[in-house]
Structure 1
Amino acid sequence: MSDTPLAIEDRFLIGATFTRVSLKDARISDSHLMGAALDDVNAEGMTFENVNLSGARFHNVNLAGATIDHVNLTGLAIADGSMEGMTIDGIAVTDLLEKWHNG
């Protein structure tokens, strides 16, 4: 195994499969990942900047301690999620939901 960073530029890897691959500290930019799937992946500390995730699906994802800012949440749906400690603009979501349900 080499410690020399691999640079891949201007390549099409359509339909490629990567198994047991470490992309730790990798940088992916100006790239297309439409239809890509991440399954059984540790992405702790991953950063998304200027990323289009419209139509994306997150299932059984741990976002504990994550920060989301400057986002468009139009049409976003959250179902069957734990929201303890979650805030929107500093307001506890559980408090908002309780007030909504109790009128």
Structure 2
Amino acid sequence: MTDEPSEAGRDKLEIDNMYLCGSTFTRVNLNEARFSDCHLMGATLDDVNATGLIHENVNLSGARYYDVNLSGAQISNANMAKISVRDTNMAGARLSDITLSGAVIADANLTGLSIDDASLSGMTINGILVDDLLALWSEAHGS
């Protein structure tokens, strides 16, 4: 997909209260387009440049993202319960003011991971309670 404008005119199309189910848009420039009160269930976006795309008050439950560049993305006030994330590079990610209760992190590279100002009660690492590990460390270091 190219971001270069074609030789075609730059007509503005305003569509209101229309059903375009099953429509196909190919090589269409929708730069600065606005979609409001729209239904996109089952829609597929493939080979799309959506840099700077804003999702606000959007239901993305059941959405699937594959081979997606979300670097620099910001997510806030989101319900991501039961989300499944795999084979994903999150190096340098910052997670704050989040709830991970009941979450499972498996087969992960946690090199350099820092956990600060967090409730760790009930948290385990390889089946060992972190509270117990911290208590042993405190005993050994006289803290």
Equivalent residue for 1:48? 55
TM-superposition CA deviations, 1:10-41 (whole Å, max 9, x none): 11010001100010000000000000000010
- Alpha-carbon distance in structure 2 between the residues aligned to 1:96 and 1:17: 46
The Cα shift of 1:96 comes to: 5.5
**Runs of 4 or more consecutive aligned structure 1 residues displaced over 4 Å after TM superposition:** 100-103
In structure 2, the gaps of 5 or more residues are: 1-7, 98-109, 116-123, 131-143
Output aligned runs, 1:55-94, within 5 Å: 55-89=62-96, 94=110
Note if 1:31 corresponds to 2:29: no
In structure 1, the gaps of 5 or more residues are: none
**Compared CA separation, residues 4 and 60, structure 1 to 2 (3 A):** same
Of structures 1 and 2, the one with the larger relative CO (CA 8 A, separation 6+) is 2
Identity of aligned residues (%): 47
**Compared CA separation, residues 96 and 13, structure 1 to 2 (3 A):** farther
What is the identity, as a one-letter code, of the residue corresponding to 1:23? L
TM-score under structure 1 normalisation?
Answer: 0.87
Across the aligned residues of Structure 1 and Structure 2, the Cα RMSD in angstroms comes to: 2.1
Aligned length, in residue pairs: 99
